[in-house]
Structure 1
Amino acid sequence: MASAMANISGLDALFLAGSLGRGTEDAFSDIDVVALAEPDRHEALAARWISALEDRDHVVYRRQAKSGQGLLVNAITGNWVRVDLHVLPRALFARRAKDTVTPLIDPEDIHGALPDSLPPARPDPERVKGIVTEFIRMMGLMPVALGRDERVTLVTSVELLRGLLRDLYIEQSAAPDKGGMLHLSKLITPAQMAVLESMPHPGPDRTALIDAHLRIADAFLPEARRLAARLEIDWPDEFEAATAAHIHRETGVEILAHAAA
């Protein structure tokens, strides 16, 4: 693929990224490639990339979308090889590090100017605040779904709440490049994974659904409080108290109070 992209007008460089670029791939890894070019060349480079990919294996799925100042192309071939191309302006590539990418085409040695590695990641206070408030909001919607007897919706709610607990764990990971969800076991601790695995997966039974919400809240809220304190984030006490009162008033269940105890 790199040879097919060589000498393309407007291509500044081409890098192997993701787990292959870091040298941490396994048999299930996809292929992540970063191309550097000015924005007016992004569409043409994406088209050339798909054409080169088609020459090697028929593309059965393709999705192309703007991604910030860049362009992201997801492709899957007939042999189910997953290939992602991210076309970026050169200036944005400075956020990478040498140990996160492998140069394929790099005539100006852009790779050589990168730092050796990225510093450990830290939790983003704004993102943590968003996760916490969304968790409380979704808990507050439980009485609505219960009142309407929307049990399938409540099953979905359990999975979304579990996802927020997962996101809270990921936010605490020091990995500079967190990759995707298919690398979850490399991002969170064994203890955190054990908690996620222990969470119930209820069917459309009212009692089981309420219990599942309670179990996830028991795991999420103390963890979120500790993280908020460490990051010096103001806890949404008023919102939590109003939501707890609302849930108790409508269902008789003291979910948030139980979790905070």
Structure 2
Amino acid sequence: MADVRALVDHYVELLSALSGVRAVLLGGSFARDAADRWSDLDLMIVAADGVAPAELADAALVAVTASNEPLLAIRRDSDHSCLVNLVLPPWIRLDISVTDDPRPGGPRMSLRQVYGEPIEITSSMEDTVDLEAAAAVITQLVRVYGLLPVVLGRDDLITATQGSHLVWGELVNLCLLVDPETSRMGALSKAQRILPEHRDLLLSLPAIAPDRESILAFHEAAFPDTPCSSGD
């Protein structure tokens, strides 16, 4: 972890030295002191008054990649912010966001200021389940599950297998929505974000293979109160 911390310090120092930087904030697992050597590094730059985020993003990209050519670089710009996703050798995942919002943050974000004049961070934590997201997950589950008799009746094992994996993914998403506190954690931390009892249930489901028996076994285990029909 010492090497990881040194890496954080390196990029914070690099970005804070840029002209037009009002503040630098550390995000994600590093902001929560929950990072490991696999964690990606999330940094947010708050631009000074009159400095365009796009220009500051240009400067940040030049500074970061000057001595380390990226394996992958993706950039997305909007009116008031820019996001740069980088993968640097040997395999450093670095996300840099630039904003001109003097009060950065938002729901379910973890941010900690590491450079600049003190600023107000509007990061907040909702303590309720996102009902709209839950409804979308349940709708998708019902839709895919409802197609099972059709695809098995047609002996379409490719679609049935694909649909079963979709069901697995939506069950994971549903478990993630149960405990809003875990939504602060990163997308690659699902094993830690899911409550232990739900994680055990997910891992106990039968493996999905492209054959009729395993597909039915998976669905019967996933939906024990809803008899599966083969479509015959």
Per the shorter chain, which TM-score range? 0.7 to 0.9
> Which residue does 1:100 correspond to in 2?
110
Q: Find the aligned partners of 1:152 and 1:49 in 2 and give their Cα distance.
A: 46
Q: Deviations over 1:42-71 (max 9, x none)?
A: 322222222222134221111122579633
Shift of 1:84: 0.8
Q: Which has the higher helix share?
A: 1
- Which residue of 147, 158, 169 maps to 1:152? 158
Preserved CA contact (<8 Å) 1:60 1:78 = yes
> Which residue does 1:230 correspond to in 2?
none
Q: Find the aligned partners of 1:25 and 1:145 in 2 and give their Cα distance.
A: 43
> Which residue does 1:122 correspond to in 2?
128
Shift of 1:196: 0.9
Alignment coverage as a number of residue pairs: 221
Q: Find the aligned partners of 2:50 and 2:197 in 1 and give their Cα distance.
A: 44
Distance 1:144 1:30, change over 3 A: same
Tell me if 1:133 matches 2:139: yes
Q: Deviations over 1:68-122 (max 9, x none)?
A: 963322111121011011223415615379x932323322x10xx347x844531
> Which residue does 1:214 correspond to in 2?
220
Range with greater deviation from structure 2 (47-56 or 59-68): 59-68
TM-score relative to the length of structure 2:
0.80
> Which residue does 2:84 correspond to in 1?
73
> Which residue does 1:205 correspond to in 2?
211
Distance 1:147 1:77, change over 3 A: same
Q: Find the aligned partners of 1:5 and 1:163 in 2 and give their Cα distance.
A: 37
1:14 maps to amino acid: V
TM-score relative to the length of structure 1:
0.72
> Which residue does 1:36 correspond to in 2?
46
- SS where residue 200 of structure 2 aligns? helix
Shift of 1:24: 1.3
Q: Find the aligned partners of 1:134 and 1:92 in 2 and give their Cα distance.
A: 36
Shift of 1:133: 1.2
Distance 1:56 1:179, change over 3 A: farther
Distance 1:89 1:139, change over 3 A: farther
1:19 maps to amino acid: S
Tell me if 1:172 matches 2:152: no
2:206 maps to amino acid: P
- SS where residue 29 of structure 2 aligns? helix
> Which residue does 1:194 correspond to in 2?
200
1:143 maps to amino acid: P
2:172 maps to amino acid: R
Preserved CA contact (<8 Å) 1:118 1:176 = no
Q: Deviations over 1:150-196 (max 9, x none)?
A: 32222221111111111111111131643323212321211111111
Q: CA RMSD in A?
A: 3.1
> Which residue does 2:25 correspond to in 1?
15
- SS where residue 85 of structure 2 aligns? strand
> Which residue does 1:256 correspond to in 2?
none
Contiguous gaps of at least 5 residues in structure 1: 222-243, 253-261
- Which residue of 101, 104, 118 maps to 1:90? 101
Preserved CA contact (<8 Å) 1:151 1:206 = yes
- SS where residue 175 of structure 1 aligns? helix
Q: Find the aligned partners of 2:74 and 2:155 in 1 and give their Cα distance.
A: 38
Identity %: 24
